[in-house]
Chains A and B, each alone.
Chain A
Amino acid sequence: MAKRRLKGGNVRVLDSLPMLIICIALVSALYFVCLARIASNNSMRYMIQIFLYITMAEMWNLLSGFTGMTSLGQQLYIGLAGYSVAVATTKLHLTLGLGLGIGVAISVVVALVMSLLLYRMEGMYFSVATWVVAEIFEKLFLNWKYVGQGSGMTIRIVPYPRIHEICVVALTVCVFAVATVYLLLRTKVGLGLTAMRDDIGAASAVGVNVFNHKLLVYAIAAAFTAIAAGIFLVNKGIVYPESGFSISWTVSLIFIVIVGGSGTVGGPIVGSVIYVFLQEYLARFPGWSNIILGTITILTILFLPKGIVGTLQEKLGFEIFSAKRFSYAKHR
């Protein structure tokens, strides 16, 4: 009994039926808004951005917040996916779905090849290596004639998907991403990942297969980042080396995860909403946007180190999408 209280018996998680119903209702409502085209094109544009940032930020969070692999190179998969979609649809006249599929496939293959290199490294070395590999690809695409070198490619799809169609696809990807992260963390694999983040040596000693776990997470992150980025760049309509492989993608993801709450599933969702609106609002103050984003990042780290969601969870003893599993439930 004492143990039960110690483990935070009042922490409620998504397992409970009401929470599940709320989630399903919320997602259905969002689908309805997209499909029935209640929302204006402008608000649909925000929604697309939010859904896709949630997807990419969940993946960065899975790497950094849950597994301790702080990647500075997620833009590698963003660029690869953007170019895959552009080449598949514009040059080869394939469908958008096929283009996205090719993007995901290429990203997973690259992630598997990278794994040979990256898993020899930890911490800072891993961060630098991921960034450098992304830079290598940027330089390769800058010199590659077929994909338009520095000026990049305009994405032409006939017929170009309507905005509410993109919105539905983005929402679907987002739901799958959150569900994947949540379910993954609640399996044995998830326990292994958290153990690795906290102490990699100890985790390995108690029988966590560190290499396999990292490979799995890294490949999942690559796949979801790729599909989200593919849709994002279709929505933009153009991809070029400096935009696709830019470190500023990872910069945004870091901001989202830190402000929302690193190591929580809900954090990237809250962070993405804040980020997209903040970015829109800050567009009115040209020049100030990064100064304000940077200041918010620093203040969050100093005063709310667990982010908004992490701090709220601590204060309210209430967790949505908790990755924790409690044994007390079985003893009831």
Chain B
Amino acid sequence: MYIAQILVNGILLGSVYALLGIGMTMIFGIVKLTNLAHGEFVVLGAYLSTVLAPLLGIDPILTLAITVPLMFILGFLLQYGLIGRAMKKGSEPALLVTFGLSIILQDGMLMIFSADARHIPVPYSKDTIKIGALEISVLHLVLFAISLIAILLLSLFLRNTYMGRAIRATADDADVAALSGVNINRVYAIAMGIAMASAAVAGLCVGMKWTYDPSVGGNYLLIAFVVVVIGGMGSVPGTLVAGILFGMAQVIGGASYGLLISYILLLLVLIFKPKGIFGK
């Protein structure tokens, strides 16, 4: 029963880790860019939801209706106006621009929101449901639902819409996609927009589950990295599996050894399957 409990908790939490990785893996796979600002995007999403929920007097989850489009536009503009320009100079300059963005965002949030640890309060954070001997946290169930819906919507979008097909074509071969009439810069901007929108959702989940402050972006970036590399870059199912593996490691190892276990897992994956479990 103990193992079942770990499995359930690992899967429920793992979906949040997968969501953290999704935005990262999209940028890797499509834009071919290592986005070092992803962690700060997540924290920004968390702050937006934290501030908006009491301001508008609505449930934190409903703030997504505002934060998701807002972050999408921000991502679109950032890619179009800034990162895209740096990409013309090569992949390393682009990487370093995202690095610059990350430290700017970090201190910007520090000035606006102060260094105090914040949290998105929800009334059901301590509630649990008992199924047999299993005890399941309601909060974890809610987070699981949000993350899974977000990932599913994204997969459906990529598979079934014209833009989704254009994005996948660009990921496979940008030059050929451009020859077939895909506006590559627009695809990149939309991909960055989607990545930031996913960061908004991930930020909400992270903020509901843990306390956060402006300096934790690096931790979430590292988690996203680990999840993405274990799963294989650009692979949505891979990210999902890797997120769940990561979640299990956290549940088994606890606060002091959870991250250690997942880092060692990452190194093992890199040694034996350098392109990730689901990598091409």
Q: Give the interface of A toward B (CB within 8 A).
A: 64, 70, 117, 120-121, 124-125, 127-129, 131-133, 135-136, 139-140, 142-143, 247, 251, 254, 258, 262, 287-291, 293-295, 297-298, 301-302, 305
Contacts and interface: CB of A to CB of B under 8 A. Distances in A.
Instruction: State the main secondary structure of chain B at its contact with A.
Output: helix
Given A124-B34, A136-B260, A291-B108, A298 B101 contact: yes
B209 interface: no
Given A117-B270, A120-B271, A140-B260, A298 B100 contact: yes
A117 B97 contact: no
A287 B107 contact: yes
20 contacts: A70-B92, A70-B95, A117-B270, A125-B270, A128-B226, A128-B229, A129-B266, A129-B270, A136-B267, A139-B257, A140-B260, A143-B256, A251-B103, A291-B103, A295-B104, A297-B97, A297-B103, A298-B82, A301-B89, A301-B96
Contacts of A136: 260, 263-264, 267
A294 B107 CA distance: 10
B222 interface: yes
B259 interface: yes
Nearest to B37: A294
B96 A121 contact: no
B93 interface: yes
A150 to B, nearest CB: 11
Interface of B: 28, 34, 82, 85-86, 89, 92-93, 95-97, 99-104, 106-108, 110-111, 218, 222, 225-226, 229, 233, 256-257, 259-260, 263-264, 266-267, 270-271, 274
Given A121-B274, A129-B270, A301 B97 contact: yes
Contacts of B28: 124
A301 B86 contact: yes
A247 B34 contact: no
Given A254-B96, A287-B111, A297-B100, A305 B89 contact: yes
Contacts of B82: 298
Contacts of A139: 256-257, 259-260, 263
B278 to A, nearest CB: 15
A140 B89 CA distance: 39
A140 B101 CA distance: 30
Contacts of B97: 297-298, 301-302
B99 A297 contact: yes
Nearest to A289: B107
Closest 9 CB pairs of A and B: A294-B104, A297-B100, A290-B107, A294-B100, A298-B100, A290-B103, A294-B103, A301-B93, A139-B260
